[in-house]
Amino acid sequence: MSGAAGAKTGPAPLLRSTWLLIRLRLQRLRHQMTAMRRPSAAAAGKKRSGNPGKKGSNVVLYLAWPLMMFGFGSLMIGALVNLHAALDPPDTFWRTVEFSPALVLGAAFLIAVLWFASLLMTVGGGELAKSDWDLEWLVTLPIRSETLLWARILERSIVNPSGILALLPVCTVIAWYSGFRLTAPLVGILATWPLLLLAALGRTLLDTGLRLSMRASQLRNLNAAISVLSIITLYLAISMGLPEKSGFMTGLAAATPSWFAWTPPGLVVRALNERDAGGALWLTLELLAQVAAILWCGVLLLRRQLRHGVVAGGSRETARTVTPSAAIAAPARPALIRMTAVQRRELTLLGRDRNFLVQSLVLPLLIVGGQLLLGRSGVATSMWHDPNVLASVAFGLAAYSLSMSAFQTINTEGHALWLLYTFPVSIEHVLKDKAKLWGVLTLAYPTVLFAIGMFVAPTLEWKFLGAMLTACLGIPIYAFIAVAIGVYGSNPLEQHQSHKVKPGYLYMYMTLAGLYIYAILTPHPYQRLVFIVLTLLLSFALWQKARDQLPYLLDPDASPPARVSTSDGLIAAMLFFVIQGIAMAAAGGRVTGATVLIAFTIAGGLTYALMRSVFAKAKTLDVPRVVGELGMRPLPGIVAGIGAAIFGVAYLLALKWSGTLETVLRESE
């Protein structure tokens, strides 16, 4: 600072400090998001000048957020309708009029559950065991500690994506049904902010105070418990918006005590729904007074927590010490299954880090299981009667678990990634050991599900065994695919945890896993075999492509040039195989010349368009041209195509004259 501003001395005032911190946080978020889609210097053809980061995609920001807001808004409409149906007398009009006392309590209960879920998601999504370097840096600024705490709470109330996603839709929907109509979004924002202030206070008390009073190992265990509890609470809140699943939560809402209407969630609902302007103003003042009192008490508690400083110890205080005598006395136990040193190390770390254990093995079970239970497709019941559906669920659960574990193999190393390059084996060998380990661990899901399916099924048929074998063969293959794509889709040197994964590559992995579902659901054994072979070849091709990336992992900017490889051709073949199968099924499944022509034309056109768009976006080099290189004539290609067509027609005529074609057509009906 210079000039008149530099002449001022003393700590900065609250409003100015808050505004600076908000600008700092928003600027930081903007830089993080733009860094995800910024092309590398090598791809841009420029000389390297710094570390701008490797290229990525910003599709999540522009597409996922509006879709999630719209989805939560639809769920909140359903939640209020379900609460009205469960709490109000039949045929009671409730829209654009004052809610009944029972509905006010039900809506306040809904807001409280969403507030609690958003708080747990925000805290559980971070890393409690890591020291808060933001706070360590901010305390060095010329700001009083009390002013810093107030400013931190205010800026966290504004920059809170989880809280905004959970609370803004429900407040907007309540405002709409209370008669605000076009101004409902603005009123919803104003009503959401006091709740976000309380969420910011709760988050600061947890992630700041707990770091000073608990060891890193305890924080990891707590972080794991919070992650599980956040998913359960979020699903309970979502269930209130589903007609067939809302019974349990509406029953709890009916038992909400009357004093809950005087809490901040209850005052928000009453202020939004109040018909009288004076009454609404009075309720708003009561709400603000309560929030101010809670914030004041919370800041006092924070000042007491931070009275001895902001750092209690390092984040490495998780080693479990073993006395020398115990270490010497411990006899060597023969292993039933021979594991490499890398696999034993991975299991040891998995057992010590409860947070990583929960995120890798427990959260996928909760997320997929919650979607099955809350979904309307009936998969949760039909899977026990249809072995193909059971196998697809088992494979989907394992594939999703691999996206949280094997896909994160590079990211879990963090800044210690360079150590893998010092081992007496190649880093490729290390990654292979990890892929084998996760491929075996995730087989636990289908093992349990198929064991239950065998117990429930009256008789075991070949259909059940074929579906089980297809799913179990695909899981180890996709463990290698997840590790290979994770090499490209990871940012191990990224400081922010949420930006260590490139969304585009994660979506690519999930899309490939979804394609394998076709191999499980198809009734034809030869199609399953073809798709399994294609998937196996794809895993080899992707691994070869990942091997080319391994020398560049420690460089945040350099990448090997994007070129057409075998994996691209295999992905195109899998896409063509699945699309033509779907087109044939949509046409009725009857094999005729017309349906085959239409299905192959649709599959070829879509596959070509998708692959060319991917090549164009990635600026892939040496992409084959349809017409040929400049100066070459397309005549040889046209002649070859006509010759292939003549051969195909002759082949079909030979089948027709021999009677083989009619036999195949009769068997396919």
Residue 277 contacts by C-beta under 8 Å, 6 or more apart in sequence? none
User: How do residues 596-606 score in pLDDT, each as one tens digit?
Assistant: 778 888 888 88
Across the chain, mean pLDDT equals 77
For the cut 70, the answer to whether the pLDDT of residue 643 exceeds it is: yes
Q: Name the one residue in this structure whose structure tokens are 């209960």.
A: 109
**pLDDT given for residue 107 in this prediction:** 93
**pLDDT given for residue 286 in this prediction:** 94
291 vs 40: CA distance, rounded Å: 47
- pLDDT tier for residue 6 given thresholds of 50, 70 and 90: very low
**pLDDT given for residue 190 in this prediction:** 93
pLDDT (mean) for 112-138? 77
Burial of 394 (0-12, 13-18, 19+ CB in 10 A): buried
Higher local confidence (pLDDT), 591 or 79:
79
SS3 587: coil
**pLDDT given for residue 667 in this prediction:** 58
SS3 621: strand
Highest mean pLDDT out of 63-77, 509-523, 568-582: 509-523
pLDDT (mean) for 191-200? 93
For the cut 80, the answer to whether the pLDDT of residue 40 exceeds it is: no
584 vs 591: CA distance, rounded Å: 8
Higher local confidence (pLDDT), 662 or 605:
605
**pLDDT given for residue 47 in this prediction:** 46
372-391: b (≥16 Cβ within 10 Å) or e = bebeeeebeeebeebbbbbb
159 vs 195: CA distance, rounded Å: 13
User: How do residues 266-296 score in pLDDT, each as one tens digit?
Assistant: 999 999 998 888 889 999 999 999 999 999 9
- pLDDT tier for residue 306 given thresholds of 50, 70 and 90: confident
**pLDDT given for residue 503 in this prediction:** 74
Higher local confidence (pLDDT), 243 or 443:
443
Q: DSSP strand E in 362-472: where? A: none
Residue 26 · residue 156 · CB < 8 Å? no
**pLDDT given for residue 325 in this prediction:** 41
User: How do residues 514-532 score in pLDDT, each as one tens digit?
Assistant: 888 878 887 778 778 888 8
Q: Name the one residue in this structure whose structure tokens are 């708003």.
A: 284
Q: What is the pTM of this model?
A: 0.69
**Per-domain residue ranges for the chain?**
70-305, 377-560, 631-669
Smallest CA-to-CA distance from 258 within 270, 246, 248, 247 is with 270
- pLDDT tier for residue 172 given thresholds of 50, 70 and 90: very high
Burial of 53 (0-12, 13-18, 19+ CB in 10 A): buried
169 vs 427: CA distance, rounded Å: 47
Q: Name the one residue in this structure whose structure tokens are 């039909």.
A: 382
Q: Which amino acid is at 93?
A: F
Residue 184 · residue 169 · CB < 8 Å? no
Smallest CA-to-CA distance from 508 within 595, 578, 575 is with 575
pLDDT (mean) for 432-442? 91
